[in-house]
A and B are shown apart, each in its own frame.
Chain A
Amino acid sequence: MSLFDYRVSELHSLLHKKEISVSDLVDESFKRIHEVDEKVQAFLTLNEEQARTKAKELDEKLATEKEFGLLFGMPIGIKDNIVTKGLRTTCASKILYNFDPIYDATVVERLHQADAVTIGKLNMDEFAMGSSTENSGFQLTRNPWDLERVPGGSSGGSAAAVAAGEVPFALGSDTGGSIRQPAAFCGVVGLKPTYGRVSRYGLVAFASSLDQIGPITRNVEDNAYLLQVISGVDPMDSTSANVDVPDYVSALTGDIQGLKIAVPKEYLGEGVSEEVRQSVLDALKVLEGLGATWEEVSLPHSKYALATYYLLASSEASANLARFDGVRYGYRTDNAKNLIDMYKQTRSEGFGNEVKRRIMLGTFALSSGHYDAYYKKAQKVRTLIKQDFENVFEKYDVIIGPTTPTPAFKIGEKTSDPLTMYANDILTIPVNLAGVPGISIPCGFVNGLPVGLQIIGKHFDESTIYRVAHAFEQATDYHKQKPTL
């Protein structure tokens, strides 16, 4: 039994009854990290001293004050592409191996205001480019359910840390599935919010029109609490949306009577394993039993999403990653003849191959003579993909399918061919292209490996997603299963 088997509302009641202290919660985190992280390798940097000091402050606050933040005393791990003042932030890249941020990301500031405790920074694919966390420049994170398998990516450290019971909360980021895919592989709950729901200020940019920060937790209630804290417009991010933030926790009514579910035939077709397909069909039966109805629909441009994504995300990345030049921060080569040579050597020594590949693909797609054929074409197809979702959402409340075509694969299994690795994200990428929100929740096991159910909602309708996810969770016990480590 771990304290992290409790939901945040239960932990708060234990704190108020003085049965536990914030220091106990923080101890629990570090105890577990010291026990299992040598195997899991989820954390890149620990914030132990500051976290323990903060815990003492919060324990004093608990004794003397009446107002508490929504995540009072909750230990949280943060993906290493979200800047934390005075706490090393590397994007799992050698080019930022020593980067010490001079400010906090907006989400981190909001976590402080909500009285959460930062435990450390979590491993990821370098600059969030990857689907297995194997592209980290520093270490290989392993799936807590089977240490020979990947945790998914790019937020693999975040999902693995939550699954391994090291922290009850983590932040990830999702550009093409980087929260939902590792959440599925590790059997936890991960939400990619609507584009613009959460400020990106302080998230090291990969593809600015697709990136969103989102919560990874053990259960839906905790997830709703964390989204509540990080959501809302921010003057520091002009793409954050000025749309009211509803009370997400109050959406967890358990009632989905009359809910209309769309199941895209493209999400259960070719490439999706039979076991995953069956788990999703079983999940739909559970939802039917709770009063929902479902029908098959079509998102006809789904098959073009992968190509569209790689052109657009790489193009944006090629511009965003131009800032890593060895001048203002990060790594600089020792052996440069002149300025241009310094740029080239620094970037070649600092970036890994996947990052170089995407920078070059993006540079190519944006270069004179190719811009119309690749970049602009992809932006047009993006419109068609977005319209597919709009059409379905005219008649249905949510779209449901698998999060990934298969459960977690073996370490090294897909590293030799980029296209094989990219194909992992065929079911999550369309959601980013359309800017809609999507969640992955556990919906079964195949040979001891978790399977993720993806629930997709309308723009800014995270409440309905949470309501459905919570109702499913109440009716099943997949989220209560824990890996043996």
Chain B
Amino acid sequence: MSRISIEQVKHVAHLARLAITEEEAAMFAKQLDAIITFAEQLNELDTENVPPTSHVLNMKNVMREDVPTAGLPLEDVLKNAPDHQDGQFRVPAILE
């Protein structure tokens, strides 16, 4: 049985905001299925009482004083924007 169907691939692509063709959906389904099947070898291990790694070093929360500092100049912020107007990023219509 395959681990991931073409329909699931389309759903995941939608969640990830990727447009894929029917052909690509079939290709990714086959490749992702192979990778996920391979990954299921982890089930050979009993990890019931193993804590998940949250950080490789014994570092916990890193805190600093909450001191306001200057933000980026607006000109810099907009410098790489594909489209902007009146100091704001401009995007296509949000509602149909």
Q: Please determine whether A357 and B31 come into contact, CB atoms closer than 8 angstroms.
A: yes
Q: A308-B42, A380-B47 are in contact. Are A360 and B16 (CB under 8 A)?
A: yes
Q: Please determine whether B55 and A209 come into contact, CB atoms closer than 8 angstroms.
A: yes
By a CB distance below 8 angstroms, the chain B residues around A307 are: 38-42
As a 0/1 sequence over residues 42 to 81 of chain B, the CB contacts with chain A under 8 angstroms (1 = contact) are: 1111010011111111010010100000001000110111
Cα–Cα distance between A311 and B83 once the two chains are bound (Å): 35
Please, which residue of chain B has its CB at the minimum distance from the CB of A301? B45
Cα–Cα distance between A382 and B54 once the two chains are bound (Å): 10
Q: A239-B59, A357-B32, A384-B50 are in contact. Are A332 and B19 (CB under 8 A)?
A: no
By a CB distance below 8 angstroms, the chain A residues around B79 are: 100, 102
By a CB distance below 8 angstroms, the chain B residues around A361 are: 32, 35-36
Interface assignment of A418: CB less than 8 Å from any CB of chain B: yes
Interface assignment of A34: CB less than 8 Å from any CB of chain B: no
Q: Please determine whether A339 and B92 come into contact, CB atoms closer than 8 angstroms.
A: yes
Q: How far is the CB of A208 from chain B (nearest CB, A)?
A: 11
The residues in A between 308 and 350 inclusive whose CB is less than 8 angstroms from any CB of B are: 308, 310-311, 318, 322, 325-332, 336-345, 347-348
Which of A100, A195, A383 is in CB contact (< 8 Å) with B51?
A383
Cα–Cα distance between A345 and B83 once the two chains are bound (Å): 16
By a CB distance below 8 angstroms, the chain B residues around A342 are: 91-92
Interface assignment of A459: CB less than 8 Å from any CB of chain B: yes
Which of B42, B52, B56 is in CB contact (< 8 Å) with A195?
B56
Cα–Cα distance between A47 and B31 once the two chains are bound (Å): 40
Cα–Cα distance between A327 and B82 once the two chains are bound (Å): 7
Please, which residue of chain B has its CB at the minimum distance from the CB of A380? B47
Q: How far is the CB of A350 from chain B (nearest CB, A)?
A: 10
Q: Please determine whether B34 and A419 come into contact, CB atoms closer than 8 angstroms.
A: yes
Interface assignment of B26: CB less than 8 Å from any CB of chain A: no
Cα–Cα distance between A345 and B92 once the two chains are bound (Å): 12
Which of B19, B57, B64 is in CB contact (< 8 Å) with A348?
B19
Q: Which of A251-259, A370-378, A476-484 contacts B (4 or more CB under 8 A)?
A: A370-378
Q: Please determine whether A360 and B18 come into contact, CB atoms closer than 8 angstroms.
A: yes
Q: Please determine whether B94 and A339 come into contact, CB atoms closer than 8 angstroms.
A: yes
Q: How far is the CB of B4 from chain A (nearest CB, A)?
A: 7
Please, which residue of chain A has its CB at the minimum distance from the CB of B51? A383
Interface assignment of B1: CB less than 8 Å from any CB of chain A: no
Q: Please determine whether B52 and A338 come into contact, CB atoms closer than 8 angstroms.
A: no
Q: Please determine whether B20 and A348 come into contact, CB atoms closer than 8 angstroms.
A: yes
By a CB distance below 8 angstroms, the chain A residues around B53 are: 379-380, 382-383, 386
Q: A361-B32, A380-B50 are in contact. Are A338 and B92 (CB under 8 A)?
A: yes
Please, which residue of chain A has its CB at the minimum distance from the CB of B49? A380
Q: Please determine whether A357 and B28 come into contact, CB atoms closer than 8 angstroms.
A: yes
Q: Please determine whether B28 and A367 come into contact, CB atoms closer than 8 angstroms.
A: no
Interface assignment of A225: CB less than 8 Å from any CB of chain B: no
Cα–Cα distance between A332 and B55 once the two chains are bound (Å): 35
By a CB distance below 8 angstroms, the chain A residues around B96 are: 338
Please, which residue of chain A has its CB at the minimum distance from the CB of B3? A364
Cα–Cα distance between A310 and B56 once the two chains are bound (Å): 17
Q: How far is the CB of A12 from chain B (nearest CB, A)?
A: 34
Q: Please determine whether A327 and B89 come into contact, CB atoms closer than 8 angstroms.
A: yes
By a CB distance below 8 angstroms, the chain A residues around B56 are: 195, 209, 386, 433-435, 459
By a CB distance below 8 angstroms, the chain B residues around A310 are: 35, 39
For B4, B8, B51, B82, which residue has the most chain A Cβ atoms within 10 angstroms? B82
Q: Please determine whether A241 and B59 come into contact, CB atoms closer than 8 angstroms.
A: yes
By a CB distance below 8 angstroms, the chain B residues around A306 are: 38
Which of A241, A327, A363, A381 is in CB contact (< 8 Å) with B91?
A327
Which of A100, A311, A337 is in CB contact (< 8 Å) with B39?
A311
Cα–Cα distance between A376 and B82 once the two chains are bound (Å): 38
Q: Please determine whether A99 and B80 come into contact, CB atoms closer than 8 angstroms.
A: yes
Interface assignment of A304: CB less than 8 Å from any CB of chain B: yes
Interface assignment of A359: CB less than 8 Å from any CB of chain B: yes
Interface assignment of A457: CB less than 8 Å from any CB of chain B: no
Which of A100, A367, A386, A434 is in CB contact (< 8 Å) with B80?
A100
Which of B9, B45, B76, B81 is in CB contact (< 8 Å) with A360?
B9
By a CB distance below 8 angstroms, the chain A residues around B42 are: 304, 307-308, 311, 377-378, 381
By a CB distance below 8 angstroms, the chain B residues around A241 are: 57, 59
Q: Please determine whether A338 and B94 come into contact, CB atoms closer than 8 angstroms.
A: yes
Cα–Cα distance between A344 and B20 once the two chains are bound (Å): 9
Please, which residue of chain B has its CB at the minimum distance from the CB of A435? B56
Cα–Cα distance between A98 and B18 once the two chains are bound (Å): 21
Which of B13, B17, B39, B76 is in CB contact (< 8 Å) with A340?
B17
Cα–Cα distance between A195 and B56 once the two chains are bound (Å): 8
By a CB distance below 8 angstroms, the chain B residues around A322 are: 16-17
Cα–Cα distance between A325 and B47 once the two chains are bound (Å): 37
By a CB distance below 8 angstroms, the chain A residues around B93 are: 338-339
Q: How far is the CB of A108 from chain B (nearest CB, A)?
A: 17
Please, which residue of chain B has its CB at the minimum distance from the CB of A101? B80
> Can you report 10 A-B residue pairs in the complex whose CB atoms are below 8 A from each other?
A102-B77, A209-B55, A303-B41, A304-B41, A304-B42, A308-B42, A330-B82, A339-B93, A342-B91, A379-B54
Known: A347-B19, A361-B32, A459-B56. 20 other contacts (CB 8 A): A241-B59, A304-B41, A304-B44, A304-B45, A310-B39, A328-B81, A338-B95, A339-B92, A339-B93, A344-B17, A348-B20, A351-B18, A359-B16, A360-B12, A363-B15, A380-B51, A380-B53, A383-B52, A384-B45, A386-B56
